[in-house]
Amino acid sequence: MEKLRRIVFVSLTGDPPVGQALDPLPDPQAVAEVVRTAFSPFLAEDGGFEVLYEGGSVVPPQAGLIVVYAFGHAWLGPEGPQTSSRTGDGALLEDARNLLARLVPATAADRTILILDCCHASAFDRFITPPHVPRLAVYASGAEEKAITLTGEQASRLSLAFSEKLAGKGGTVDFVRKVGEIAEALDADGVLRGQAVSYRMNGSMIILGRSEVKAGRRRERTVAVIRNVLLVAGAVVAGALITLAWYYRTHALIEIDLAGLTEIAEGIRLVASEEDPPRNGSRIIVDQAVAASRVRLWLPASDVIVRIKAGYKDNAERALGFHLNLQPGFAPEAKAITLTLPSAEEVRAHPRMAFIPAAGWFHGREREARTSTRPFWIDIQPPTVAEYLEIAEGLMEEGKLQREDSYILTARQVSSAVDNVGLGQLKTLNKDLGAILGVIEAANSPEVTAPGDIAVGLGDLPCDTCPAPMTRQEAELYCASRHMRLPTDLEWELAVRGVDGRVYPWGNQFDEQRANVPGLPGKGDPSPALKPVAAYPDERSPFGLRDTVGNAGDWVVNESGPYERVYMGATYSFNQEDATAFRLLPVTDEDSLVREITARCVAGNPVPARR
């Protein structure tokens, strides 16, 4: 639960350029009062409300959340949306970038809730870039839409909606859920035309705590108790009690049952990290040796990953861990949590695999709350070309796989034939044509596309340690040969994304040092290509998976959409913003043999029936 430390109302009511016709607005002071009334119940005791008229920059408090509510005119210019603010000697015209830099302080962006109550509000979204990325941005209207003001009521439609939805007596409010309710209500209004309210979430969920009379009385009683304790036992004892209460509220006791892991492993260590996805941050808070079958430790009530690392007697790697979204509080059920590893026999039976426990998590771009009830195991990394080649040849000898249905076998046969007849220059021509046609396809297709070979085998063959590209058929055969199956899209997303709704396996900001997604090459630079599976050895998903986004994609079973042949993780050829931990990509008949897509198998329950 969080409190607001400051509410800043920003007036965008300066004069527009000559010839720019705009609708009349209500008195901004009246709208500011509606906004103050709506949000004040969530202000901390030392919080405050201020109005920014003269084009100044928002000055954030040293701690706590800040609501920046910008109201007024906006219009679309040649380079995007523009606004105007009154100043002492005229008007300050601003483009989207300058306005966002003024309203979203770089030092407190992750604590800022930005609300743009103006026409064309969502057109500002594409101009939100680091370091001015608010934790939550709310837009009163679509990119091509006018916001609705109610001059008779001296308010905007959005400010009145906030006043209505935030009113109440409950102790806490899920603010993002309230924004969603406002969006539905304004879109379905039966009196006025619909208004497309939308939002962009760039951080963790926002639970606001309401300051009520009862809470004030409880605080008074607490102060009285503390004062008596100070009188009876002294300041030292009271300080200790306060410290213990604070520690209890902000931590949780975690008990981990190793379930016989000591029988099959040695050198067991427990490593816990506190995660900060908006900043791509991960801080080790516990790293200790474990000798007993059970271990207890206090961890911060925040976004935490607990990993159990060990050396196994068969020298094969396993990834065992838990991703926890812990919330501060005093509720007993949230203070003691027991985590249990799979049995030693089950761990032994899954070498080179990661265990994914049942968990609540966030799915998709919109971070839809989901609950996984089926634990499963998934490969830590895809097979390399060298590892898979022998398996593919074995499947072909058994009659289960035809050469023309295999990416690797076809590529090697064609490449060898071209070399034997002295037509090696075809490979260079193939690469150039592939790049050219890839650009043409990207320019004329609404779908995300990536260039590939014109013919399999004419391009550069993947290295022996690169992920093994496979057709969908051979990917299914490969997993079946191991008595496993391909993951569903939801299983893959959970394993790669974890439970906190991060955009990439490491956080919310793309980092080219963590994945093979170089983007478009510069002039004279070599073309992108597959890299070895272990090219980024220290880069892991929250559950311990390696080489998940970029490089080669992973085939998945589509559990949540209409397309049959789909994959996730994108490839090295895609734009960096598309190589996320949640994007599902289709494959057509035409490009099924020229996309570098591999297999990461799952052991566990069968694929659930399609809904």
DSSP 184-216: HHHHT-SSSPP---EEEE-SS--EEEP--HHHH
Do residues 343 and 469 share a domain?
no
Whether 220 and 107 share a structural domain: no
**Residue at which a domain ends, from 228, 248, 268:** 248
Same domain, 474 and 398: yes
Q: Let me know if residue 293 belongs to a domain.
A: yes
Tell whether 609 is covered by a domain.
no
pLDDT value, residue 129: 94
Residues 491 and 530 in one domain: yes
Instruction: Assess if residue 379 is contained within a domain.
Output: no
Distance in angstroms (rounded) separating the CA atoms of residues 94 and 480: 60
Let me know whether 228 and 239 are in one domain.
yes
**Which CATH number covers residue 559?**
3.90.1580
The answer to whether residue 373 sits within a structural domain is no
Let me know whether 334 and 439 are in one domain: no
Residue 79 corresponds to which tokens in the numbers above? 């380079």
DSSP assignments along 421-456, one per residue: TT-THHHHHHHHHHHHHHHHHHHH-SS------SST
Task: Work out the end-to-end distance of the chain between its first and last CA atoms, rounded to an integer number of angstroms.
Answer: 36
Q: How far apart are CA 510 and CA 198, in angstroms?
A: 24
So what's the pLDDT on residue 131?
94
- CA dihedral sign, ordered 164, 170, 175, 181: negative
pLDDT at position 592 is 52
Distance, CA of 130 to CA of 379 (rounded, Å): 34
Does one domain contain both 596 and 499?
Answer: yes
Cα dist from 533 to 176, 223, 316, 512, 549, whole Å? 39, 59, 16, 16, 11
Distance of alpha carbon 161 from its chain centroid, rounded? 28
199 in the same domain as 65? yes
pTM metric for this prediction: 0.59
Q: What is the pLDDT of residue 594?
A: 53
**Assigned domain for 257 exists:** yes
Total structural domains in the chain? 4
Instruction: Indicate which CATH number applies to the domain containing 263.
Output: 2.60.40
Q: Do 154 and 28 fall within a single domain?
A: yes
Domain contains 82: yes
> Last residue of some domain: 209, 239, 270?
209
Return the bridge partners of 360, or none: 371
Same-domain pairing of 508 and 415: yes
174 Rama sector, left if φ>0, alpha if ψ -120 to 50, beta otherwise: beta
How far apart are the C-alpha atoms of 95 and 76, rounded to whole Å?
10
Would 372 be classed as within a structural domain? no
What is the predicted pLDDT for the residue at 239? 73
Please identify which residue in the block is written with the tokens 């220290």: 538
Residue 199 exposure: Cα atoms within 13 Å on the Cβ side: 25
R_g (Cα) of the chain, nearest Å = 28
pLDDT block averages, 10 residues each, the chain of length 611: 92 86 86 93 91 86 94 92 86 92 94 94 94 95 79 79 86 90 78 75 87 51 53 66 86 94 94 95 95 92 96 95 93 89 96 96 93 95 96 94 89 70 50 48 40 48 93 94 96 96 95 88 76 92 96 93 89 88 84 75 73 45
- CA 2/CA 207 separation, integer angstroms: 6
Q: Which domain holds residue 220?
A: 214-248
538 domain-assigned: yes
Domain boundary among 248, 270, 304: 248
Co-location of 471 and 496 in the same domain: yes
Q: Which helix (H) or strand (E) holds 296?
A: strand 294-300
Can you give the pLDDT at residue 372? Answer: 92
- Predicted confidence at residue 217, as pLDDT, reads 46
Asked if residue 243 and residue 254 are part of one domain, the reply reads no
Q: What gap in Å lies between CA 56 and CA 214, rounded to an integer? A: 38
